[in-house]
């Protein structure tokens, strides 16, 4: 496995149907998201909850982040499911390292603009 210095640095957006914001890598499934968390140095992660039939939910992804210790630096929860948001937040909050910033909701527009501007450089 590659050491931390050699991992690509990314922002990651997990959603099965919404368009990916500029400057983010897209994970269309929970498994893709978990693989990218293992293989990359993820700064910002934005999670959906409902990922479609037969796919890992955002809550299952959150539980595996905790289990594997593959925390990004910052996490947003952009799901429209109040149950899903609460479940992911409670799972992540209970075990997150102090260095991790966890937000209850979606990314604000200024964060999206900042990431997009950095990507266009």
Which one, of 96, 98, 100, lies nearest residue 67 by Cα? 96
Q: What rounded mean pLDDT belongs to the chain?
A: 96
CATH code, domain carrying 49 = 3.40.50.2300
Give the range of the structural domain holding residue 22, as residue numbers without chain letter. Answer: 4-119
Is the pLDDT assigned to residue 92 strictly greater than 90?
A: yes
pLDDT tens, 7-51? 999 999 999 999 999 999 999 999 999 999 999 999 999 999 999
Burial zone of 120 (CB within 10 Å; 0-12 exposed, 13-18 middle, 19+ buried): exposed
pLDDT tens, 95-116? 999 999 999 999 999 999 999 9
Which one, of 49, 109, 31, lies nearest residue 85 by Cα? 49
Total domains, the chain: 1
pTM recorded for the entire structure: 0.94
Phi, then psi, of 40 in degrees rounded to 5: -130, 160
């Amino acid at each position: 496995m590659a050491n931390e210095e050699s991992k690509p640095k990314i922002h990651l957006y997990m959603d099965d149907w919404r368009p990916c914001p500029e400057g983010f890598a897209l994970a269309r499934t929970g498994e893709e998201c978990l693989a990218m968390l293992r293989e990359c140095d993820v700064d910002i992660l934005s999670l959906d909850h409902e990922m479609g039939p037969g796919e890992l939910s955002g809550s299952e992804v959150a539980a595996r982040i905790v289990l594997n210790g593959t925390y990004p630096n910052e996490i947003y929860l952009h799901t429209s499911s109040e149950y899903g948001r609460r479940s992911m937040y409670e799972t992540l909050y209970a075990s997150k390292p102090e260095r991790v910033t966890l937000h209850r909701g979606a990314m604000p527009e200024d964060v999206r603009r900042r990431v997009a501007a950095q990507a266009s450089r």
